[in-house]
């Protein structure tokens, strides 16, 4: 009996090892001016999500690839992706000069490379692996150009250790200067990855003008970035509503990603998850509690050309004291303001409304670095679960933002608007800015 058990255990172990050893061969080829990614000689177009969570949801709406930025959870992510039948672009986090890394320190550069070598050997035969990605936005706010050589040396090492997977790298947007470095110094890189948001329409122009002939991916894309959005007179950025974002995703995918089928081998929508970056809703395709947003529906349409069976609700507009909000909304301390939302649901599901008030975030970083969420302000909103609420402007002078979430019990829509509170005793020569009749998507200065 024991012998039988041992034989069975050994057989299962060998089967597992052999299955894991059945490595996919991934190549990138050019034929008649067309770049194509191949997995075991079969064409593979990347319908990708940037993030490590909600992998089942990627599969559910037609996605086939995810992207990571580091190797911390590589084993778990690769194994889960394999179970679901999707692939992974596995990121290697190349240290940034702006975080204190010194690219004049040869010992640190070598240690970084050798650390990656260990990980390459560990994961190079995983069947879910699609592409290695060396670094992300390492040139953001940098001055030491030695980072380009360090990236290329890592890419060379990867190709020495793994002959079966291409190597990519990613920059923060692109321009003539960056493209020159990519083309002249990153000679070991197979695929150029570009993170871009509101400027996505300019990417192809830069590549064409720079005579870039290689394959590329749009490795992060989504709404207008907070740095490229309209701002109030006190410096707060205006965030698109979830409805406006969904429209942006659809248009940008069709016009700037799928349209360039000769060079662009796919993309990764950002962010497949949620994070606090400028606001808690700016980039996440999911909410803090995991609910899918209108953008999730947009991605299903992008990847399948079909609308979802159950669509997220949508916020058409909202009114502040019966007027449409303008760019510079300023209230007096203690002022009562009525805010009314106009939302709908295609399936006529019952909608639940949630209003929340926060001070404007002061913990602002660059390049997606970790930010802390400001504390919720309680006691200033009445009728928080209805389509209409009454906001009492806080006593303290400063910048604030009112958030609205509308849920059908499964998916959500959202919007927010920033405002400023003046002291109630402010002089008459500092009058409160009144609302102009503008749409939520076309804020204008007074």
Could you give phi then psi for residue 242, rounded to 5 degrees?
Answer: -60, -30
Spatial distance between the Cα atoms of 434 and 46, rounded to a whole number of angstroms: 48
Two tokens, residue 73: 């959870």
Q: Give rounded-to-5 percent helix, strand, coil for the chain.
A: 30, 30, 45
Question: pLDDT tens digit string along 167-194?
Answer: 999 999 999 999 999 999 999 999 999 9
The CA-atom distances, in angstroms, between 208 and each of 132, 171, 204 are 25, 17, 6
**Of the candidates 75, 64, 89, 155, which has an alpha carbon nearest to the alpha carbon of residue 116?**
155
Average pLDDT for 116-139: 98
**Of the candidates 166, 186, 174, 173, which has an alpha carbon nearest to the alpha carbon of residue 225?**
173
The CA-atom distances, in angstroms, between 226 and each of 118, 197, 237, 242, 364 are 38, 10, 6, 14, 11
Counting every residue written for the chain, the total comes to 446
Question: pLDDT tens digit string along 406-418?
Answer: 999 999 999 999 9
Question: pLDDT tens digit string along 28-80?
Answer: 999 999 999 999 999 999 999 999 999 999 999 999 999 999 999 999 999 99
Spatial distance between the Cα atoms of 54 and 116, rounded to a whole number of angstroms: 27
Please state, rounded to an integer, the average pLDDT across all residues of the chain: 91
Sign of CA dihedral 108, 50, 81, 266: negative
Share of the chain above pLDDT 70, in %: 90
Spatial distance between the Cα atoms of 388 and 408, rounded to a whole number of angstroms: 17
pLDDT of amino acid 426: 59
All domains in the chain, ordered by first residue: 22-304 (3.20.20.80), 314-422 (2.60.40.10)
Two tokens, residue 228: 């490229």
Asked whether the predicted pLDDT for residue 388 surpasses 50, the reply is yes
Give the CA dihedral 104, 110, 112, 117, nearest 10 degrees. Answer: 150
Spatial distance between the Cα atoms of 185 and 237, rounded to a whole number of angstroms: 36
**Of the candidates 309, 274, 267, which has an alpha carbon nearest to the alpha carbon of residue 289?**
274
Rounded to two decimals, the pTM is: 0.91
By the 8 A CB rule, do 169 and 127 touch?
no
Spatial distance between the Cα atoms of 246 and 296, rounded to a whole number of angstroms: 8
């Amino acid at each position: 009996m024991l012998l039988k058990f041992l034989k069975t255990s050994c057989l299962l172990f060998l089967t597992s090892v052999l299955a894991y050893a059945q490595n996919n061969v991934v190549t990138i080829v050019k034929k008649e001016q067309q770049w194509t990614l191949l997995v075991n000689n079969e064409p593979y177009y990347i319908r990708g999500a940037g993030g490590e969570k909600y992998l089942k949801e990627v599969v559910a709406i037609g996605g086939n690839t995810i992207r990571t930025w580091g190797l911390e959870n590589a084993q778990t992510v690769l194994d889960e992706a394999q179970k679901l039948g999707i692939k992974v672009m596995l990121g290697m986090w190349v240290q940034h000069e702006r975080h204190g890394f010194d690219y004049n320190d040869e010992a640190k550069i070598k240690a970084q490379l050798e650390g990656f070598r260990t990980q390459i050997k560990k994961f190079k035969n995983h069947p879910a692996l699609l592409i290695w990605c060396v670094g992300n936005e390492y040139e953001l706010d940098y001055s030491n150009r030695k980072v380009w050589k360090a990236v290329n040396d890592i890419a060379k090492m990867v190709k020495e250790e793994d002959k079966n997977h291409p190597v990519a790298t990613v920059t923060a947007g692109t321009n003539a200067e960056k493209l020159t470095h990519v083309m002249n110094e990153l000679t070991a890189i197979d695929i150029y990855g570009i993170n871009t948001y509101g400027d996505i329409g300019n990417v192809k122009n830069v590549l064409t003008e720079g005579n870039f002939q290689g394959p590329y991916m749009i490795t992060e894309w989504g709404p207008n970035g907070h740095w490229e959005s309209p701002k109030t007179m006190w410096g707060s950025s205006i965030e698109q509503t979830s409805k406006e974002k969904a429209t942006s995703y659809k248009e940008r995918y069709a016009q700037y990603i799928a349209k360039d089928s000769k060079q662009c081998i796919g993309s990764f929508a950002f962010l497949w998850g949620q994070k606090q970056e400028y606001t808690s809703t700016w980039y996440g395709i999911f909410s803090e509690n995991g609910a899918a947003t209108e953008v999730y529906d947009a991605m299903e349409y992008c990847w399948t050309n079909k609308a979802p069976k159950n669509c997220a609700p949508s916020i058409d507009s909202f009114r502040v004291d019966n007027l449409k909000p303008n760019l510079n909304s300023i209230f007096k301390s203690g002022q009562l303001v009525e805010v009314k939302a106009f939302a709908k649901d295609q399936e006529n599901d019952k909608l639940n409304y949630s209003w929340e008030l926060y001070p404007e975030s002061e913990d602002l970083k660059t390049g997606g670095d970790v930010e802390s969420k400001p504390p919720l302000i309680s006691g200033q909103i009445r009728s928080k679960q209805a389509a209409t609420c009454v906001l009492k402007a806080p006593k303290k002078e400063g910048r604030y933002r009112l958030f609205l979430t509308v849920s059908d019990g499964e998916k959500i829509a959202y919007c927010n608007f920033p405002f400023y509170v003046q002291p109630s005793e402010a002089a008459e020569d500092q009058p409160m800015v009144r609302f102009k009749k503008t749409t939520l998507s076309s804020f204008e200065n007074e």
